[in-house]
Amino acid sequence: MDKALDITAEVYAKIVDGSIVLYHEEDEIGAISASSSKVAYQLKPGYSVSSDQTHIFHSLRETPDAALQDTEDCDLGWCR
């Protein structure tokens, strides 16, 4: 099952070689190109933009085992 996480507030941009490059944390996630008539997003797989272009989402794939755990940081599996 995929889960979309709204990361809009955590995305920032840098101008690199005349292009607007988007980052989430330290990862480059895509770029923005703009013309006088529209703005276009080119995002890496796993990232998407809302239809009104105001939010950026990161899709997370949930593993079946993760959904069964009642607590966090249970890497040994004893606390299911």
Domain map (residue ranges) of the chain: 2-68
Question: To the nearest whole number, what is the mean pLDDT of the chain?
Answer: 82
Percent of the chain at pLDDT > 70 equals: 75
Q: Read off the pLDDT of each residue in 24-48 and give the average, rounded to a whole number.
A: 90
Beta bridge partners of 21: 14, 31
Confidence band (pLDDT; 50, 70, 90) for 65? low
The beta strands (E) that lie in the chain are given as: 2-6, 11-16, 19-24, 27-34, 39-43, 47-49, 56-61
With H, G, I as helix, E, B as strand and everything else as coil, classify residue 65. helix
Give 33's pLDDT tier (boundaries 50, 70, 90): confident
